[in-house]
Amino acid sequence: MSQKLTAGGRFRKALAENNPLQIVGTINAYHAMMATRVGHQAIYLSGGGVANASYGLPDLGMTSMNDVLEDVRRISSAVETPLLVDIDTGWGGAFNISRTVKEMIKAGAAAVHIEDQVAQKRCGHRPNKEIVSQEEMVDRVKAAVDAKTDDDFFIIARTDAFQKDGLEAAVERAKACLDAGADGIFAEAVHTLEDYQAFAKGIGGAHLLANITEFGATPLFNKAELAENGATMVLYPLSAFRAANKAALNVFEALLNDGDQKAVVDTMQTRMELYDFLNYHDFEQKLDQLFAQGKNK
């Protein structure tokens, strides 16, 4: 009898079976269910997304480990699709990072990425970012790797050095993180396919994540283009969230301006579509069975 894979094991399996592995942002448990149903094999929880959607805050390092863990638990309870989680800078020093990794594993995460910005961080596609020294980033990675309670838990080192210091410095930093035990590299705010190719070559073909976020510094490259240039993972951190926000705003404005929702009802998910993704009727049938048993006593 084969042993059931851990969340980390499921992530590694998905990575081995997909070139590249698409990782889609799911802002809540229901989005995770929809992404899973249509066939996505890995999902993502953005730190900025947690701040924006769950707390109404900008992505400026204002949320805590426990804030993110709450959403991790909700998502991992709803689906078994492996979940990559943004842990920002790890919320402190070595002991804080260690606790973060252990808690993420307990909460059902499959992987995390930890970055090299200073604690007072900014969105990776905004100007005036500041990064810690290479030595400090390596220490962050070592603390994260040492804390693993599941050998298959996947740790990605994110570097913002490309935008700050250029390709050569970013590659050097990435190689140091890999030497410290990171399983892959997240190269943030890369501009061209040639840069991805050079980055992949520089890290010796190690796992490389391309962050294809809208309205940022990186063009919206196709997954095939990225795979051809060395990326093994492609991240879409907030694509569905942005689309949902635009749709919601359209509905709010229509209700206020028109006095009803008739003009926008065709843009909505139907009640039956909602029920289908939630397996609503399975729950309802279970209730019917329980009540039927009670009546027969």
DSSP collapsed to 3 states, 33-100: HHHHHHCCCCEEECHHHHHHHHHCCCCCCCCCHHHHHHHHHHHHHHCCCCEEEECCCCCCCHHHHHHH
Beta strands in the chain, from DSSP E residues, in sequence order:
21-25, 43-45, 83-86, 111-115, 154-159, 184-187, 207-211, 233-236
> Is the domain of 181 the same as that of 204?
yes
DSSP state of 187: E
> Is the domain of 17 the same as that of 164?
yes
Task: Determine, yes or no, domain membership for 135.
Answer: yes
User: Where is the domain boundary, 199, 214, 238?
Assistant: 238
88 has binding-site annotation: yes
Record the tokens describing residue 59, joined without a space: 């992505």
> Is the domain of 136 the same as that of 234?
yes
Task: Determine, yes or no, domain membership for 1.
Answer: no
Give the pLDDT score at 297.
Answer: 56
48 has binding-site annotation: yes
Domain range enclosing 261: 245-292
> Which residues partner with 131 through β-bridges?
117
Calpha distance 87→100 (Å, rounded): 8
Model confidence pTM above 0.85: yes
User: Where is the domain boundary, 238, 263, 280?
Assistant: 238
Q: In the chain, which residues have pLDDT < 50?
A: 1, 124-126
What is the total count of domains within the chain?
Answer: 2
CB 136 within 8 A of CB 89: no
Which residues are designated catalytic? 44, 59, 86, 88, 113, 115, 123, 158, 188, 211
Give the pLDDT score at 128.
Answer: 52
271 has binding-site annotation: yes
86 has binding-site annotation: yes
> Is the domain of 133 the same as that of 252?
no
Give the pLDDT score at 129.
Answer: 66
Calpha distance 278→239 (Å, rounded): 22
CB 229 within 8 A of CB 196: yes
Give the pLDDT score at 165.
Answer: 86
User: Where is the domain boundary, 220, 238, 256?
Assistant: 238
